């Protein structure tokens, strides 16, 4: 009964979405307050129904109801109960249901926190979200129903959750990522509503900014967690592979980052208006494109659960409708929202424009590298793959330029800055970064000019933020008073930039100074990597809740002092399938020691020699630590009081000429 209840709840949700997509927006054009006001309860209603459906699927998993096909595919009786719950989004159908839950949740959040919005805007935003919801309801009901039954012959036992996904990181990675992807639908809806209304001012930007910031922070965390998961769970210590699926999440992040900066210009200076709208459309479209790439089976990876051409066609059609209709609307209505104004080339606007151009360029190249092999295959140009060298070749230099510009631009003023002031502000961070960059590599076993450049970039960004805070608090009575005078969004920005710098340093140092050794080791063998001694004491058999494993025992020591025992595993799950590598990692702020067990040299003799990978990963944690700082920075910026005083702010309309003449 419960699965049927879930199915019915989905259908009910679809019907409510139809009402949500039509009623409020129709009300906004016919001046019917009652219709417009229906948006809020309808959004809550849709959310409630999706929540019911999600709960039903969760119950089916907890009860191991294998009459439900999806449960039988992704769970079994001996799976620990917490993994039974996360198995709800361990496969395609359930992850789309999770997506739908997030989508409905964001719509409900807009309904809840958007009370101060003008009724027309609120009605249109909710209706646009309703249209997006219809798309995903239809997708799940027509192509990916998680409640399909296996009757009349249900299997006695389920086939298990993919062992790769039986991991705590997996509990949070998909929800965070989806929160980000789906969150961008809100700013997309705001953009469409602004086009419909032909009105886009500083107040609009002030409403759109926090939603964008929250979605961006979630996406940042989701990507970082995915990278961290790959690092420790895929077993081999890599943290980014330029895999199409990773690219699919990076592209909306890049454009979303551009969007946040463009929104800042739109709010503060009333410029870049149509550009902001275009970015909002692209960010959400790229989120959908990511779903298409991952879910249609056109690319193959851990994430491509099932290859079903019908699903791919549906998302492609949905994508075409979303992009096509919003770009058409943009072409028709963009002139009504654009502004005209002038700014000097030595201004913050110019630097932010540079930021946007670079981010879009990076995105375009990631997109090219991701789609080109698909295109070549479709046109019979041969089977091609574009590997990491291509991506690194442009990503690294463009990121260097982006970070240089960041450190320069942060000191610039709106409208116009004086050269002497800018040059003065750049001097101290420049000298600091140069000194640190030249000295830091001396702490490692070899000097590396790539590391010098990378460290310079990281410290340059960091020092620029610190200098700016020092300058901004200089004239206050005391440092503390000065600190209090700045807004939350100011600190959020600096924290996010410092986070970027930390990530850059982590990437550079771990790339240059990590050491990796694949070895053949027998019991009693020792090996030294980067000053650390590893002594292999053989393997033993251990028992887990739903697997048994060979566990290698390695003594880690340095200069004769024992640091600890590392216990990497090679697991075999009872449900069958291939063995899984479970790395043992000793994490530290300055380095990780990463040990993974390969395979026995003779399959029949596990007490003989084993293949072992020993790795010293310099500063690798900084990569994810930086991402965490970025996300926290995004969160702090959103907490800025001025976003909650939107009604009061309505009187402080931007000082721009409300023109319809030119667009920048």
Partner 1 sequence: MTMHPVRRQRLILVLVLVTLSSAAVGFVTFAMRENMDYFYAPSAFAAGEVPVEKRIRAGGCVVPGSLQRADKNLEVQFVITDGEAELTVAFDKILPDLFAEGEAAVITGRLMPNGILRADQVLAKHDETYTPPEVAESMVSHKSCAGGAKI
Binding site for partner 1 (CB under 8 A): 162, 235-236, 300-302, 340-343, 353, 357, 361, 364-365, 368-369, 372, 382-387, 389-390, 393-394, 518-520, 570, 577-581, 596, 598-599, 601, 611, 613, 662, 664
What is the C-alpha to C-alpha distance for residues 80 and 12, in angstroms, rounded to an integer? Answer: 33
- End-to-end alpha-carbon separation of the chain, Å? 58
Which helix (H) or strand (E) is 600 found in, with range? strand 591-600
C-beta separation of 139 from 93 below 8 A: no
**Strands of the 515-521 sheet, one edge to the other:** 515-521, 610-618, 591-600, 584-587
Q: What is the DSSP letter of 299?
A: S
Whose Cβ is closer to partner 1: residue 368's or residue 647's? 368
Whose Cβ is closer to partner 1: residue 61's or residue 391's? 391
CB of 472 to partner 1, least distance (A): 29
Helices 244-269 and 348-378: crossing angle in degrees, nearest 10, is 150
Whose Cβ is closer to partner 1: residue 383's or residue 641's? 383
Contacts of residue 214, defined as CB under 8 A and 6 or more positions apart, other chains included, come to: 183, 634, 635, 638
Contacts of residue 493, defined as CB under 8 A and 6 or more positions apart, other chains included, come to: 633, 637
What is the C-alpha to C-alpha distance for residues 397 and 519, in angstroms, rounded to an integer? Answer: 34
CB of 601 to partner 1, least distance (A): 6
C-beta separation of 637 from 496 below 8 A: yes
552: number of Cβ within 10 Å: 24
CB of 608 to partner 1, least distance (A): 11
218: number of Cβ within 10 Å: 24
Which helix (H) or strand (E) is 159 found in, with range? none
Whose Cβ is closer to partner 1: residue 169's or residue 579's? 579
CB of 514 to partner 1, least distance (A): 15
The burial of 611, by beta-carbon neighbours within 10 Å (0-12 exposed, 13-18 middle, 19 or more buried), is given as middle
Query: Would you call the peptide bond into 152 cis, given omega within 30 degrees of 0 as the criterion?
Result: yes
CB of 186 to partner 1, least distance (A): 29
CB of 205 to partner 1, least distance (A): 21
CB of 662 to partner 1, least distance (A): 6
CB of 612 to partner 1, least distance (A): 8
Whose Cβ is closer to partner 1: residue 324's or residue 387's? 387
Whose Cβ is closer to partner 1: residue 389's or residue 524's? 389
Whose Cβ is closer to partner 1: residue 63's or residue 313's? 313
Whose Cβ is closer to partner 1: residue 300's or residue 647's? 300
CB of 262 to partner 1, least distance (A): 14
CB of 23 to partner 1, least distance (A): 41
| CA dihedral of residues 449, 360, 638, 46 (deg, nearest 10) | -130
Q: How many residues make up the chain in this entry?
A: 664
Whose Cβ is closer to partner 1: residue 301's or residue 528's? 301
Token digits of residue 42:
């309808």
CB of 373 to partner 1, least distance (A): 8
CB of 664 to partner 1, least distance (A): 7
CA nearest 542: which of 550, 534, 532? 550
Contacts of residue 69, defined as CB under 8 A and 6 or more positions apart, other chains included, come to: 148, 149, 150
CB of 69 to partner 1, least distance (A): 16
Interior angle at CA 287, CA 268 and CA 290, nearest 5: 150
CB of 417 to partner 1, least distance (A): 16
What is the C-alpha to C-alpha distance for residues 376 and 235, in angstroms, rounded to an integer? Answer: 32
The burial of 559, by beta-carbon neighbours within 10 Å (0-12 exposed, 13-18 middle, 19 or more buried), is given as exposed
Tokens 């929540």 label which residue? Answer: 51
Whose Cβ is closer to partner 1: residue 89's or residue 218's? 89
Whose Cβ is closer to partner 1: residue 157's or residue 518's? 518
CB of 493 to partner 1, least distance (A): 25
C-beta separation of 461 from 501 below 8 A: yes
Which helix (H) or strand (E) is 551 found in, with range? strand 547-558
C-beta separation of 145 from 62 below 8 A: no
CB of 250 to partner 1, least distance (A): 17
Token digits of residue 343:
């700014």
Whose Cβ is closer to partner 1: residue 32's or residue 340's? 340
The burial of 376, by beta-carbon neighbours within 10 Å (0-12 exposed, 13-18 middle, 19 or more buried), is given as middle
Contacts of residue 484, defined as CB under 8 A and 6 or more positions apart, other chains included, come to: none
Contacts of residue 127, defined as CB under 8 A and 6 or more positions apart, other chains included, come to: 20, 21, 22, 23, 24, 25, 28, 39
Whose Cβ is closer to partner 1: residue 116's or residue 350's? 350
């Amino acid at each position: 009964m419960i699965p049927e209840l879930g199915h019915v709840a989905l259908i009910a949700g679809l019907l409510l979405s139809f009402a949500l997509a039509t009623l409020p927006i129709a009300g906004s054009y016919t001046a019917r307050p009652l219709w417009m006001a229906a948006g809020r309860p309808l959004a809550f209603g849709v959310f409630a129904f999706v929540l019911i459906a999600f709960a039903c699927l969760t119950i089916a998993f907890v009860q191991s109801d294998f009459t439900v096909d999806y449960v039988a595919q992704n769970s079994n009786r001996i799976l620990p109960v917490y993994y039974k719950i996360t198995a709800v989004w361990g496969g395609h159908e359930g992850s789309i249901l999770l997506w739908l839950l997030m989508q409905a949740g964001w719509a409900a959040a807009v309904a809840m926190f958007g009370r101060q919005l003008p009724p027309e805007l609120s009605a249109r935003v909710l209706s646009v979200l309703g249209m997006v919801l219809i798309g995903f309801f239809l997708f799940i009901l027509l192509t990916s129903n998680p409640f399909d039954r296996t009757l009349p012959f249900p299997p006695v036992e389920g086939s298990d959750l993919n062992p790769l996904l039986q991991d705590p990181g997996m509990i949070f990675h998909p929800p965070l990522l989806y929160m980000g992807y789906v969150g961008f639908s809100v700013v997309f809806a705001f953009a469409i509503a602004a086009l419909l209304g032909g009105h886009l001012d500083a107040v609009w930007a002030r409403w759109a900014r926090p939603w964008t910031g929250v979605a961006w922070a979630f996406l940042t965390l989701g990507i970082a967690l995915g990278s961290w998961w790959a690092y420790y769970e895929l077993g081999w210590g890599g943290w980014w592979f330029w895999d199409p699926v990773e690219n699919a999440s990076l592209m909306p992040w890049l454009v979303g980052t551009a969007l946040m900066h463009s929104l800042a210009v739109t709010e503060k200076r009333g410029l870049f208006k149509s550009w902001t709208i275009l970015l909002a459309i692209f960010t959400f479209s790229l989120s959908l494109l990511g779903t298409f790439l991952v879910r249609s089976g056109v690319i193959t990876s851990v994430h491509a659960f099932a290859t079903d051409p019908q699903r791919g066609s549906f998302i492609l059609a949905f994508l075409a409708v979303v992009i096509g209709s919003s770009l058409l609307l943009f072409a028709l209505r963009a002139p009504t929202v654009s502004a005209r104004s002038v700014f000097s080339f030595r201004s913050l606007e110019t630097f932010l424009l540079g930021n946007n151009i670079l981010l879009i360029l990076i995105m375009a190249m990631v997109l090219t590298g991701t789609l080109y092999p698909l295109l070549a295959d479709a046109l019979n140009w041969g089977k091609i793959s574009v590997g990491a060298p291509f991506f690194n070749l442009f990503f690294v230099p463009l990121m260097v330029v982006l970070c240089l510009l960041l450190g320069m631009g942060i000191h610039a003023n709106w409208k116009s800055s004086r050269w002497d002031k800018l040059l003065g502000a750049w001097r101290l961070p420049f000298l600091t970064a140069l000194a640190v960059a030249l000295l830091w590599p001396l702490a490692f076993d070899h000097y590396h000019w790539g590391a010098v450049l990378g460290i310079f970039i990281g410290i340059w960004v960091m020092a620029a933020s610190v200098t700016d805070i020092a300058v901004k608090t200089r004239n206050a009575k005391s440092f503390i008073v000065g600190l209090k005078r700045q807004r939350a969004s100011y600190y959020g920005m600096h924290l996010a930039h410092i986070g970027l710098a930390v990530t850059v340093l982590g990437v550079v140092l771990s790339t240059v100074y990590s050491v990796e050794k694949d070895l053949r080791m027998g019991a009693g063998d020792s090996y030294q990597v980067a000053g650390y001694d590893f002594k292999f004491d053989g393997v033993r058999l251990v028992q887990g809740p739903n697997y048994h494993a060979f566990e290698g025992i390695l003594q880690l020591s340095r200069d004769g002092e024992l640091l600890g025992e590392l216990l990497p595993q090679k697991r075999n799950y009872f449900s069958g399938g291939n063995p899984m590598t479970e790395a043992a990692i000793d994490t530290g702020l300055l380095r990780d020691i990463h040990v993974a067990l390969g395979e026995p040299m003779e399959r029949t003799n596990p007490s003989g020699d084993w293949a072992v990978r020993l790795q010293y990963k310099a500063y690798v944690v900084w990569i994810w630590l930086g991402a965490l700082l970025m996300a926290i920075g995004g969160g702090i910026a959103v907490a800025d009081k001025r976003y909650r005083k939107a009604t009061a702010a309505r009187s402080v309309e931007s000082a721009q000429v409300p023109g319809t003449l030119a667009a920048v």
